[in-house]
Amino acid sequence: MLPKNEIVHGDCIEVLKDFPDNSIDLIFADPPYNLQLPKNRKLIRENGTEVIPVNDEWDKFESYEEYDRFTESWLKECQRILKPTGTIWVMGMYHNIFRVGKIMQDLGLWFLNDVIWVKIDAMPNFNGRRFTNNHETLIWAVKNKNCKNYTFNNELLKRMNGGKQMKDTDWVFKICRGPERLKDENGIKAHPTQKPLKLIQQVLLTASKKGDLVLDPFLGSGTTAVVAKALGRDWIGIEKEKKYVALAKKRIQDFINNKL
């Protein structure tokens, strides 16, 4: 039925179709951003090193329409399986978050906040033709407009914030670099978009309780699973790419071994 505390290898839309209605407490989704980078262009730093872009096949879509169809499909399933007391978090940046947000509203998901993750140590804008991209947006929503009884750990958040109510602009975290960043056998980043543990931790501390069931339909490097495990939540991760399934499995096992 529900494969708790496991990674499911497969297309998330297909996998989600087998999940029962109203069964998930919290969904964290970091879907493909549809970056649309120019082809055959390299970005070289002054010191001669090359910026490795997100160029994976999973981020490529033929058109806005195709991206929208994909987005609506997985969001529809997520909405269906989300409990009325649950919440969904969807993360993105200006390439995709506006499309995603409109589709969420059209499905009837009801927004609670759009939270700004202000990045520390983000990459500068090299050519000086725009502002530095220094944030990502997290849309936080309930299943529909009538859902009022969702989890929001206000007192905990206030304690974490020096006694003051936390703002949608108070999420300031480092990007994932250094020892936390998973590397492959060549020392290159093993996943192009690994998210920081602290960011996901903030999501789970905000909107879930111990024993809740957390779903990540785009598990990637497995950050959500590790954080859920650490915080005593059950979790389900879905990942399409076999190599990332293996990466995340090893990561989770390493985490458990070091913990015990």
Partner DNA sequence: GCAAGGCATGAATCTACAT
Partner DNA sequence: GATGTAGATTCATGCCTTG
Q: Which is nearer to a copy of itself, 13 or 100 (CB)?
A: 100
Instruction: Indicate which of DNA, a copy of itself, none lies near residue 10 (CB less than 5 to 8 Å, by partner kind).
Output: none
Gap between the Cα atoms of 27 and 81, Å rounded: 10
Whether residue 82 contacts residue 27, with contact meaning beta carbons closer than 8 Å, is answered with yes
Question: Which of 6-14, 16-24, 79-87, 91-99 is the region at the interface with DNA (rule: CB under 7 A)?
Answer: 91-99
Q: Is 56 in the site for a copy of itself (CB under 8 A)?
A: no
Gap between the Cα atoms of 61 and 102, Å rounded: 18
Residue 188 in tokens = 């290159």
Q: Is 51 in the site for DNA (CB under 7 A)?
A: yes
Nearest to 194 by CA among 54, 12, 2, 5: 54
Q: Is 133 in the site for a copy of itself (CB under 8 A)?
A: yes
Q: Is 40 in the site for a copy of itself (CB under 8 A)?
A: no
Residues 6+ apart with CB under 8 A from 186: none
Gap between the Cα atoms of 133 and 8, Å rounded: 33
Whether residue 89 contacts residue 138, with contact meaning beta carbons closer than 8 Å, is answered with yes
Q: Is 22 in the site for a copy of itself (CB under 8 A)?
A: no
The nearest distance, CB 3 to a copy of itself, in angstroms, is 32
Residues 134-173 vs DNA: string with x where CB under 7 A? Answer: ------------x-xx----x---x----xxx--------
Residues 6+ apart with CB under 8 A from 217: 12, 15, 16, 27, 29, 31, 74, 78, 238
Q: Is 33 in the site for DNA (CB under 7 A)?
A: yes
Tell how strand 24-29 and strand 82-92 pair up. Answer: parallel
Question: Which of 3-11, 187-195, 206-214, 228-236 is the region at the interface with DNA (rule: CB under 7 A)?
Answer: 187-195
Contact footprint for a copy of itself (CB under 8 A) = 60-61, 64, 93-95, 97-106, 108, 111-116, 118, 122, 124-125, 128-135, 137, 139, 145, 152, 154, 165-170
